[in-house]
Amino acid sequence: MEKKITKDMIISEILNYDPNMANVLMSGGMHCVTCPASLGETLEEACYVHGIDPELMETRLNAFAEAMEKEGAV
């Protein structure tokens, strides 16, 4: 699968791709995905602030994107 989400993407870009990505981010420990600061951070920056492995979060987001594509939701 081609990566849809990369760790250098801004959080707001990820949420624009699919607002349901917020659930993936929050379940992974990133609970302030809608605060103004996080919307301007890259996924990697936000992960480091929250002590989350950016590679793991990138993988989870892409798995979610792939599942949504299979369902025809994206």
Q: Which domains does the chain have, with CATH numbers?
A: 11-68 (1.10.3910)
pLDDT grade for 73, boundaries at 50, 70 and 90: low
pTM of the full structure:
0.86
Specify the pLDDT at position 74.
56
Q: What is the pLDDT of residues 8-58, one digit of tens each?
A: 999 999 999 899 999 999 999 888 777 787 778 999 999 998 899 999 999
Paired tokens of 33: 């995905």
Strand partners, 10: 42
